[in-house]
Structure 1
Amino acid sequence: MEVRTPNRLPFHRLPVFPVLVVQLMVVLIAAAVCWQWRGSVSGYSGLCGGLIAWLPNVYFAHKAFRFSGARAAQAIVRSFYAGEAGKLILTAVLFALTFAGVKPLDALAVFSVFLLTQLVNWFSPLLTRTRLLRP
């Protein structure tokens, strides 16, 4: 059975796009706060930690929303699993590259901004609640 993708939305029209934008804003603001509060090493370390969380989420959103329609239900489920697996692998690779290649590094800033960016995912239903209530 061929999987069709009729009326595929552009990336900026996906339902998850506002969450990704808020995540990016949180990453940039948190990195700027780290830069001001604890110095330049903490600032770019925080930026690395935020990007470690944000880039895999962009990958997942692109992968998970590739298919649409009732006929593509199996392809949608497969793309969600593939997107989540890719997201986990990408996160691990980005952490490894950051800790191996970025010297000096403030580990507290990396993990703090990473966690803060992940919190946006956890509270995303609050961000999209008004969007879901609109007809």
Structure 2
Amino acid sequence: METRTLNRLPFYQWPVFPVLVAQFAVLLLSALALWQWKGAVSGYSGLCGGLIAWLPNVYFAFKAFRFTGARAAQAIVRSFYAGEAGKLILTAVLFALAFVGVKPLAPIALFGVFLLTQSVSWFAPLLMRTRLSRP
């Protein structure tokens, strides 16, 4: 008997989707603001920083929310660990690619938008539609 149940909801109906949309909006708006305020180098550096934060989060969402149901508890935990490990590796690789491949680069803009995009996760409980109840 198969204990794992794949999540059959489309991605835009997952509880994490509003958080990813908010992160994407923050990274675009902050990169655009940097572009207007500090110039093109800061703008695309900020865009790179935001994408470095956002793309691993999308990967984690796909990995972590693949399974549903109480019978899939072990698969859910394994997929969360795999998603988090992949997210950390992907973040490190994207930072390395940005510092090696993007010339000229404004590191303050890169790290600033990275941190701003990551800070959206603090407000995830306010953005998620599904309210989790305590047992």
TM-score bracket for the superposition, by shorter chain length:
over 0.9
Paired residues in the alignment total 132
| RMSD (CA atoms) | 1.5
1:70 — aligned with what? Answer: 70
Whether the aligned pair in 1 keeps the contact of 2:22 and 2:120 (CA below 8 Å) is yes
Over the matched positions of the two proteins, sequence identity in percent amounts to 76
Whether the aligned pair in 1 keeps the contact of 2:6 and 2:66 (CA below 8 Å) is no
CA distance in 1, matches of 2:39, 2:6: 49
CA distance in 1, matches of 2:13, 2:42: 34
CA distance in 1, matches of 2:63, 2:7: 16
CA distance in 1, matches of 2:116, 2:58: 16
CA distance in 1, matches of 2:32, 2:14: 28
Residue 131 to residue 67, structure 1, CA distance change in 2 (3 Å): closer
What are the Cα deviations for residues 28-71 of structure 1, in whole angstroms up to 9, with x where unaligned? 00000000000000000000000000000000000001111111
* 1:80 correspondence with 2:69: no
Letter in 2 for 1:132: R
**1:5, CA displacement in angstroms?**
2.2
Scaled by the length of structure 2, the TM-score of the pair is 0.92
What are the Cα deviations for residues 64-92 of structure 1, in whole angstroms up to 9, with x where unaligned? 01111111100000000000000000000
| Structure 2, gaps ≥5 residues long | none
2:131 — aligned with what? Answer: 132
**1:15, CA displacement in angstroms?**
0.1
CA distance in 2, matches of 1:90, 1:74: 24
1:10 — aligned with what? Answer: 10
| Structure 1, gaps ≥5 residues long | none
1:90 — aligned with what? Answer: 90
